[in-house]
Structure 1
Amino acid sequence: MRWSVPRSARFQIVFSVAAIAISTALRFGVDFVLPPGFPFLTYFPAIILTAFFAGPRAGAAVAVATGLVAWSFFIFPAGAPGVSPAATIAMLFFALIAGTDILLIHVMKVALRRMVDAEARSSALAASRSLMFNELQHRVSNNIGTVGSLLRLQERRMTDPKARAALADARARLEVVARLQRRLHDPARQSVDMGEFIRGLAQDTIEAMDAGRRIACLYELEPFVSEPDQAMPLGLVTSELLMNACEHGIPAESEGLIAIRLARLSDRAMVRLAIEDDGRGVPDGFSPGEAGSLGLSIAAQFAHQLGGRLTVRPRPQGGTVAELVFPEAGPAARPAPAAAPQPHETV
């Protein structure tokens, strides 16, 4: 587009004169090798280039000037007999072709300019919508955080242990959802590195449960890329299992270790997420759906949404193993380009 913008009068004059001079010199230079009947051979390129680079008016001026030069030197030179019908027809054809070329170039430049303007408007509209989306998500996250802060204040005022525990659970879930939303709701994000995502989500959950000082986490996370639509329910399952481990698996005021493992299974079509704690464990035959725990019920529902299977069983060394096996996302899922994870990292 930088070559098709309107030009100054000086540029148009210089370009037109140069086009006339160069095309005429070339025509005289090849005159001795051309058979009769090619008076306009070098003039058509000059007209087209001038119309494109200098504008339709300059192109029309070059067409008139080169037509007169061709008429005077190659069609009807001095001393030649009277004007023939063939010469007149040739000039008419030259005028028709030159005018058509100039018109087409003008229409093309106008259409191109309109297309660029429309693209600029579309880009501005997309940027405005992206800004509004980011602002909306920011406000939603802030509102959720505000509600969580209000619940924290109310929790401190409660004297009933059961009511206080219920408010603590609700507040922790709200804080996790707010942080989860900040991590996922990005209009430019088309994929999520699940290993990095779960690591950050686990840290947010432990922090929301005020358990960062007494519970350490060990991560064995195989990175792979998935869609945000899969990351959201997987993140909610992860946070619910972690909250359950912090609240019920490892008693309050006790120290413990939670191991979080994420890896593809051997067939590469299924993924296994395991959350292990060294707490007091669960009895044999434990079923998440029959436990009466709100957190495990929520986790089971989101596991079903993922098309996976959630199991909770005793850990042989003591404690609990919560395992989710779910299908890897469809065509969008692919190995992450990140380097291989450190197999034993404790935080």
Structure 2
Amino acid sequence: MVQVVDNLIERAFPRLRRKPQYAYPIAVAIFALAASTRLALSRWLENGTPFLTFFVAVLLTSLIAGTGPGLLVAAASLLFSWYFFFPGPGWLPLSTDTIVALASFTFFSLLIVAVVHLLNRKVEGLINERSRSEALLQDSALGEMQLEQLNGELRHRLKNTFAVIAGLISQSARYTRDVDKFAQVLAGRLSAMGNAMDLVATRSFIGASLSELIAETLKPLVPPGSTRFAMRGPDTIVPGDVASALALTLHELGTNAIKYGAWSNDRGAVSVTWTLVRLDNDDNRFELLWSERGGPAVTAPERRGLGTTLIDSGFPTAQVEREFNEDGVQCRLVAVLKQATTRRTRGRAPSIR
């Protein structure tokens, strides 16, 4: 029983008070019930108690339907009692006792409506406050869960990052004997990794935007000029390990373009285009084409260094093909990205020139 009353006061009545199309018909029904009850009891009740049922009607209407319907019932009760019971039936004569009785009913009806109005507002305020508190507690619990997940992901990323850095240092030292050159090469590779990790971190370690990753990785390497670099392809979100590997690959391609390829002169240009094709198993076939033009003629390197290794096998599960021709390097990278590793973003990335 207590639960039923609580549900009525906390849920049903507040909803009803916010819908006038239901509140006012209910007020009319309550008034009609009070009036018919008062007429039916006329033979047993003295004329000195004409408002007996109407006080109850004003109270119930104000509680159930709200302030406006409560005032409507109070006014209708006043007119009904005045016409039928003072001195009854009819409006006149209007004696001093009638005026006092009508004024008293008006005063106490308005007092009832005002008190119930304040109580209704207090109850709704407490309900809203409880709802906000419950929402805050739920958000806090979800926030703690997300924070714990982020901390776990951060630890995992840091562990992988340190492992990759250790491998880069050892491999760079193996292929580079000059200390200054070693520091310069290592700083560039670490900077590319740092940019990739920064993009991943800005999305709560979900992944990095592919178009942002390509643009930010190559931005420090592109020579001045609006026509030296262009990129085009659909945007998507790639996870941290893929982002780091792709950043290192692009960094090595860009560094080689500065040393030997299209960016080694004042007119060569590089374009990066990519496609994403959804396969039957909902995986994505990712194909990226690095294309140089306007540069000096290039040939395949005589020896295989760390840069070549990073380009050819740095990206996991990718097939890499490179061609060396008169305009520069053409590098095609093809990989299958699992469904869980990519998320399409709305629209297409704009061409950057």
Q: Could you say which structure has the larger radius of gyration?
A: 2
**Taking structure 2 as the reference length, what is the TM-score of the superposition?**
0.48
**Taking structure 1 as the reference length, what is the TM-score of the superposition?**
0.49
